[in-house]
Amino acid sequence: MTGVPLIAARGIYKAFPGVQALDNVDFDLYLGEAHVLIGENGAGKSTLMKILAGAYHPDAGTIEVQGNEVKIQNPREAHSLGISIIYQEYNLVPFLNVAQNIYLGRAPRRQTPLLGALVDHKKMHADAETLLRSLNTDVDTHATVKFLGVAQQQMCEVAKAVSVNARVIIMDEPTAALTSREIEQLFNLIRLLKSKGIGIVYISHRLNEVHEIGDRVTVLRDGRYIDTKQVSEVTVDDMISMMVGRSIENLYPRNYREPGEMALRVTGLSSQALRLRHVNLNVRCGEIVGLAGLVGAGRTELAKAIFGATPYDSGAVEIFGQPIEKNNSPAKMVRRGVGLIPEDRKSEGLALILSVAENVVMASLERLFPRSFVSGKKEASVVDGAIKDLAIATPSGKRQVQFLSGGNQQKVVLAKWLATNSRLFIFDEPTRGIDVGAKAEVHSLMDRLVAQGAAVLMISSELPEILGMSDRVYAMHEGRVVAEVPRAEATQERLLAYMMGQENGNTRNN
């Protein structure tokens, strides 16, 4: 790479409450280059790109655009510097047409005197038409975006990004929702953009795409810059080991024992809407089964489908040997002894403004008080027992849950399910946003649960947690369970390879 980079970021720092998202990160991009950015969930890829696009401001560090230092205050300024970003999230307006979306915020006005406030629809559609044709797509500029397919919506996003005369286009996991044919179309588009001298930053979880579309690749890990390589010089295995890098500290308190009766058996569960494809898995009493996968692999969706919170199309679920009628409700699953500790504790696991006591008994009111009248005494004994048993740090059961720390909140969720006499627990990211000390406590509680004969299915994006806690691990990729790995054979490299869809990567059995 020679000459002045289109864009160069040096020594970028960015912290969010409780996390150092970026820690002295460098990144640069040259004319006509596709620079792939990879890293695990939470490595800081999206944060770095949002800084380049003006959506976040760095705490420290410099950004240069073609050699000139700039401060990018907001998305508008990024546009005027020729930097465009296609976010992971959907950024189109559903009930506007394609042309209106492409030129949102920049619609051409009529030139006629007095009518300058009005949109020149003719010119806007003509411009959009020209633009879309130059990108070799045939999307109708008058079509309402809501009714387009995912791939065509993606084309709109690309066209929108190009339309600001972008010299740098950042794509954050653009292929996440696309089929392989659509991905091929997108790659052709990227090659076309490169040939026009546009630089592409490409964030991806799919390592097999790196060689196909990338020129250079940069790896981030835990907010830190690891390395930048020519794509031709690295293998998929190299990239995985750069992404993983760390060794697991031995802070997982597990006592392994012989598993007992079957607690959960899922056979051929599929759902078009949830993007789940023929999922098979099982969990026995006395074991913790890890469910690994990247964001968007369908783990949370699977958990909610099993729990009866969202309907699925086909497949069978058995709980403690009993077949479950399809499209069950959480209420019935709770009665069968299943508890879900959701990923989003604050919105789905707890009623934040209610007290610890109210949260603890929430799921077991009918069981505790079959005559429909709540007895304060009985409630207090259950709640006080839970507080003591789980060592929940709260002055009393009357404390509002919102004032507890993350770890204690998680214990309250757990207490809620213990009060229902649950025996199968589905943990979705059990220690996300919890500090290290409380993490260990939650982990030892999980071990205690299985020691008492309960079964645990644990979703986690932290591979060390998966490896440290699980008896067995299932790896999910794009809505499928792609591998089952026993504890003895599980390594970060191997799981990551499965999670990335590298089924034949560096492993023997599938």
Give the interface size with another protein as a residue count (CB under 8 A).
41
96 binds another protein, rule: CB under 8 A: yes
Could you identify the residue written with the tokens 């949002």? Answer: 50
The values of phi and psi at residue 433, to 5°, are 70, 20
For another protein, which stretch binds (CB under 8 A), given 136-144, 387-395, 423-431, 493-501?
A: 136-144
Pull the structure tokens for residue 444.
Answer: 């030892």
107 binds another protein, rule: CB under 8 A: yes
Nearer to another protein, 152 or 461 (CB): 152
For another protein, which stretch binds (CB under 8 A), given 92-100, 374-382, 436-444, 476-484?
A: 92-100
129 binds another protein, rule: CB under 8 A: no
Task: Give, in order, the Cα–Cα distances in Å from 445 to each of 282, 415, 423.
Answer: 22, 11, 14
CB of 120 to another protein, least distance (A): 10
Cβ contact 199:31 at 8 Å:
yes
Nearer to another protein, 107 or 226 (CB): 107
CB of 188 to another protein, least distance (A): 15
Pull the structure tokens for residue 113.
Answer: 């005197």
Site string for another protein, 158-197 (x = CB under 8 A): --x---------------------x---------------
For another protein, which stretch binds (CB under 8 A), given 86-94, 203-211, 357-365, 496-504?
A: 86-94
74 binds another protein, rule: CB under 8 A: yes
For another protein, which stretch binds (CB under 8 A), given 114-122, 278-286, 408-416, 471-479?
A: 114-122
Query: In this chain, which of 20, 41, 66, 91 binds another protein, going by CB under 8 A?
Result: 91
Nearer to another protein, 116 or 260 (CB): 116
Total length of the chain:
510
CB of 183 to another protein, least distance (A): 12
End-to-end CA separation in angstroms for the chain: 40
Smallest CA-to-CA distance from 279 within 321, 313, 324 is with: 313
Nearer to another protein, 90 or 256 (CB): 90
The Cα–Cα gap between 408 and 414 comes to: 10
325 binds another protein, rule: CB under 8 A: no
Quickly list DSSP for 129-187. HHHHHHTT----TTSBGGGS-HHHHHHHHHHHHHTTT-SEEEEESTTTT--HHHHHHHH
Quickly list DSSP for 308-377. TSS--SEEEEEETTEEEPSS--HHHHHHTTEEEE-S-IIIII--TTSBHHHHHHGGGHHHH-TTS---HH
3-state helix, strand, coil in the chain (%, to 5): 35, 25, 40
The Cα–Cα gap between 120 and 117 comes to: 9
258 binds another protein, rule: CB under 8 A: no
Nearer to another protein, 138 or 258 (CB): 138
75 binds another protein, rule: CB under 8 A: yes
16 binds another protein, rule: CB under 8 A: no
The Cα–Cα gap between 131 and 133 comes to: 5
111 binds another protein, rule: CB under 8 A: no
Taking the alpha carbons of 367, 369, 371, 372 in that order, is the dihedral positive or negative? negative
Query: In this chain, which of 57, 71, 76, 257 binds another protein, going by CB under 8 A?
Result: 76
Helix or strand run (H / E) with residue 266: strand 262-271
Query: In this chain, which of 47, 88, 141, 152 binds another protein, going by CB under 8 A?
Result: 152
CB of 90 to another protein, least distance (A): 7
Nearer to another protein, 95 or 373 (CB): 95
Site string for another protein, 35-54 (x = CB under 8 A): ------------------x-
Nearer to another protein, 163 or 282 (CB): 163
Smallest CA-to-CA distance from 243 within 47, 38, 46 is with: 38
Using CA atoms of 159, 165, 168, 172 in order, give the dihedral in degrees to the nearest 10. Answer: -30
CB of 75 to another protein, least distance (A): 5
The Cα–Cα gap between 96 and 89 comes to: 17
Nearer to another protein, 58 or 214 (CB): 58
Nearer to another protein, 53 or 482 (CB): 53
Residues near another protein (CB under 8 A) are 53, 55, 74-76, 79, 85, 87, 89-96, 100, 104-107, 109, 117-119, 121, 138-140, 142-144, 146-152, 160, 182
